[in-house]
């Protein structure tokens, strides 16, 4: 709803400025000498400059959220690999890969092993973004009892459709076993909390799906495991983010070979480069100064 109000506010500005220009235009026309040929005349810029449409802020914001951390280790994997360590290593590498990109402001929700309640992360990202175009990338790693499962998958916020999506949502939304509550919902009813927050985020769902598709394609191209595709689930970490948001499962810590790969700096660099390319490609479709509602059809075919 906040995004919708901001969008309406922006849409109203050009009309109000044009209306404010009309008295000045008529005054110039009436001041023309009798018999003079009608010529379009524009008031001096000094008189009307403050009424012209504002140039959009060119800065775009990327909030990188390394999942879990501190009291919340995430999923334990083979050879003692922890999800929180994989997420932090990849998240830091993505931030480094985005250094130097023009007009891009990069933030990390955490840059060390600290715990952040899961329901606070989307709010944090929204505050960092402000009214500028921005996205949230939440980095995670998956786990299954089936130790043969491996690969990469990317989620956007919506209702889970499959048992696997429901399992991932339950795993990522679960309170931390090592201490802390992982972030409580803001209402007594978790289902109601999801519905309320999904309504707030509705303006961004199409863009989140587009972002998830780009991220999945780029990351799958450098990942040796299976391309498990784009999925959807009611994930707490991206529910409160009022911007296009995705949760990326960069691999399975439960798969012995993949767990070792997920701790390899070479993989971190390759994954980070792929995610950085996805960010740049996405912002070409989501230009500065445009809300998701105004351009939701551009480049997506929706």
- Please state the length of the chain: 302
Write the CA distances from 93 to 108, 119, 181, 277, integer angstroms.
Answer: 11, 24, 28, 13
pLDDT value at residue 173 = 77
Which pTM value belongs to this model? Answer: 0.73
- Averaged in consecutive runs of 10 residues, what is the pLDDT profile of the chain (302 residues)? 35 38 39 48 48 66 97 94 98 96 96 94 95 95 94 90 83 62 47 58 81 98 97 89 95 97 98 97 74 39 34
pLDDT value at residue 297 = 36
Angle at 230 between CA 225 and CA 231, to 5 degrees: 110
pLDDT value at residue 232 = 92
pLDDT value at residue 70 = 96
Do 122 and 136 meet the contact criterion of CB atoms below 8 Å apart?
yes
pLDDT value at residue 104 = 95
Strand arrangement of the beta sheet that strand 60-66 belongs to: 104-108, 60-66, 134-142, 245-252, 152-157, 227-233
């Amino acid at each position: 709803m906040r995004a919708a109000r901001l969008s309406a506010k922006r849409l109203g500005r050009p009309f109000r400025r044009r209306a404010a220009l009309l008295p000045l235009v008529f005054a110039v026309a009436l001041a023309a000498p009798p018999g003079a040929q009608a010529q379009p005349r524009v008031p001096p810029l000094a008189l009307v400059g403050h009424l012209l449409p504002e140039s959009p802020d060119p800065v775009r914001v990327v909030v990188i959220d390394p999942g879990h951390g501190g009291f919340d280790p995430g999923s334990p994997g083979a050879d003692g690999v922890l999800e929180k360590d994989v997420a932090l290593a990849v998240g830091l590498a993505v931030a480094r890969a985005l250094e130097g990109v023009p007009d891009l402001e990069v933030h990390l929700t955490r840059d060390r092993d600290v715990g952040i309640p899961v329901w606070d992360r989307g709010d944090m990202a929204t505050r960092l973004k402000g009214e500028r175009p921005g996205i949230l990338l939440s980095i995670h790693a998956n786990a299954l009892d089936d130790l043969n499962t491996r690969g990469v998958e990317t989620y956007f916020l919506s209702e889970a459709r499959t048992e696997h999506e429901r399992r991932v949502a339950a795993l990522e939304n679960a309170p931390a076993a090592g201490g802390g509550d992982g972030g409580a919902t803001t209402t007594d009813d978790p289902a109601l909390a999801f519905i309320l927050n999904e309504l707030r985020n509705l303006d961004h769902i199409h863009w989140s799906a587009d972002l998830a598709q780009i991220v999945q394609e780029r990351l799958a191209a450098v990942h040796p495991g299976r391309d498990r595709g784009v999925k959807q689930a009611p994930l707490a970490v991206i529910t409160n983010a009022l911007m296009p948001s995705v949760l990326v499962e960069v691999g399975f810590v439960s798969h012995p070979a993949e767990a070792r790969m997920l701790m390899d700096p070479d993989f971190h660099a390759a994954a980070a480069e792929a995610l950085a390319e996805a960010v740049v490609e996405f912002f070409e479709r989501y230009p500065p100064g445009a809300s998701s509602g105004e351009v939701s059809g551009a480049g997506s075919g929706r």
